[in-house]
Amino acid sequence: MYIGKLAKLTGASPKAIRLYESIGLIPAPARQGKYRVYTDKDVALVHMIRRAQAVGFNLAELKELVALKSQNSQFPIKIANKLIASKREKLRSDMDKIMSLDRQLIELHEELNRTFGKT
């Protein structure tokens, strides 16, 4: 399949797909003349990249995993799991901060209404 179909199937733009290729997140595809020809494996890889980005991973983090996979000839699942655990811990910390701010806003709201609400 050509880049347009890959883009349509994955929701990634052709520009993003070319970027993933240029930084080594997906392998250079075979060519048919001047056109890149992608496989179902590429569809799966682009889906995974987009899903990882959607949950907070940046391309540099993903590139590190790909580099480790290339060095060791297998996906570094232990490292990937540690990265996911780290993202989840940061997310929980961020959620705690947001909940604290929400409580402070409620307190401010109540205080303002107690102080100035009596007219």
Domain definitions of the chain by residue range? 1-75, 76-119
d(CA 53, CA 111): 41
User: Would you mind telling me the total number of residues written for the chain in this entry?
Assistant: 119
Q: How many CB atoms lie within 10 A of CB 69?
A: 15
Q: What is the pTM of this model?
A: 0.76
Distances, alpha carbon 93 to alpha carbons 35, 80, 83, 86, 99, in Å: 46, 20, 15, 11, 10
Q: Where are the alpha helices (DSSP H) in 1-119?
A: 3-10, 14-22, 40-54, 59-72, 77-116
Token duo for residue 9: 């199937």
Which CATH topology does 1-75 take? Multidrug-efflux Transporter Regulator; Chain: A; Domain 2 (1.10.1660)
pLDDT in tens, 33-89: 999 999 999 999 999 999 999 999 999 999 988 888 878 888 899 999 999 999 999
Provide the mean pLDDT of the chain. 93
